[in-house]
């Protein structure tokens, strides 16, 4: 949305056309964005906490551009993904353009990896960059994470006797998404992936071997593959 409105504003400047003499209508499937812009246009100034909201730099830039156009300029919502149940050719023009815009955005997001760092837009004042890219939201969490990353990385490599090359082979983004997807079981999942379940020699309440069979050395793989029928009861009691 910002790129399109900014293109219109710059085109008017280049052609030395008075923006107040032109009427425009912009369409977007972002209902939350349209609502936020309507609220922002009522503010006498930007409150400090508001500047920490997700994508605030983009929203304030859109607001600045809209203020340069005629007051009758309309920003209207168009329902997204209408091609899911309707033939593309049968859709109205606004919906067709929205489908094409979604396809272009998806291609950029998932195939072009050179978009982790963004540029500073007019009016934003400042952007927060980290080794992972530009932070557009959750600033406090990102700052804390960046502060702890080096210490956690060193600890993980030392504990597991990993080299830096081996550490980088792990897809840590996928690891994080897996843990967040199973949020209720996050403690169990975290112990499982780090091989720290209370099994075998790590559990002082039981012998080193499996309490359900005669296996002399219980590990994570045996815990899930133990053939004894009582393993289910032991799993529930030992991991609860």
Summarize pLDDT for 2-17 with one digit per residue, the tens. 888 989 999 999 999 9
Q: What is the mean pLDDT of residues 180-191?
A: 81
Answer whether residue 113 shows pLDDT above 60: no
Q: Give the span between the Cα atoms of 80 and 97, in whole angstroms.
A: 10
CB count within 10 Å of CB 139 equals 14
Which pLDDT band, with edges at 50, 70 and 90, does 48 fall under?
Answer: confident
Residue with tokens 């964005």: 33
Q: Closest Cα to residue 105, out of 194, 30, 174?
A: 30
The percentage of residues in the chain with a pLDDT greater than 70, rounded to a whole number, is 90
Contact residues for 77 (Cβ-Cβ < 8 A; gap 6+):
27, 28, 29, 30, 31, 34
Q: Which residue has the higher pLDDT, 235 or 35?
A: 35
């Amino acid at each position: 949305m910002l790129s399109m409105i900014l293109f219109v504003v710059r085109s008017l400047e280049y052609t030395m056309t008075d923006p107040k003499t032109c009427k425009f209508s912009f369409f977007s499937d972002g209902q939350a964005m349209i609502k936020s812009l309507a609220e922002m246009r009522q503010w006498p100034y930007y409150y400090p906490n508001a500047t920490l909201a997700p994508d605030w730099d983009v929203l304030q830039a859109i607001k600045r551009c809209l203020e340069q156009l005629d007051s009758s300029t309309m920003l209207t919502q168009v329902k997204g993904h209408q091609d899911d149940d309707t033939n593309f050719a049968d859709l109205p023009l606004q919906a067709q353009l929205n489908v094409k815009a979604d396809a272009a955005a998806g291609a950029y997001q998932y195939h072009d990896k050179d978009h982790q760092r963004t540029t500073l837009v007019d009016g934003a004042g400042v952007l927060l960059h980290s080794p992972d890219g530009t932070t557009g939201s959750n600033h406090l969490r990102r700052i804390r994470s960046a502060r702890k990353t080096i210490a956690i990385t060193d600890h993980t490599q030392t504990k597991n006797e990993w080299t830096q090359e081996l550490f980088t082979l792990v897809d840590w983004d996928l690891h994080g998404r897996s843990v967040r997807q199973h949020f209720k079981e996050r403690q169990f999942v975290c112990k499982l992936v780090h091989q720290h379940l209370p099994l075998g020699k790590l559990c002082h309440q039981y012998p080193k071997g499996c309490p359900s069979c005669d296996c002399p050395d219980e590990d994570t793989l045996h815990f899930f593959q133990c053939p004894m029928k009582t393993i289910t009861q032991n799993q529930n009691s030992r991991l609860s």
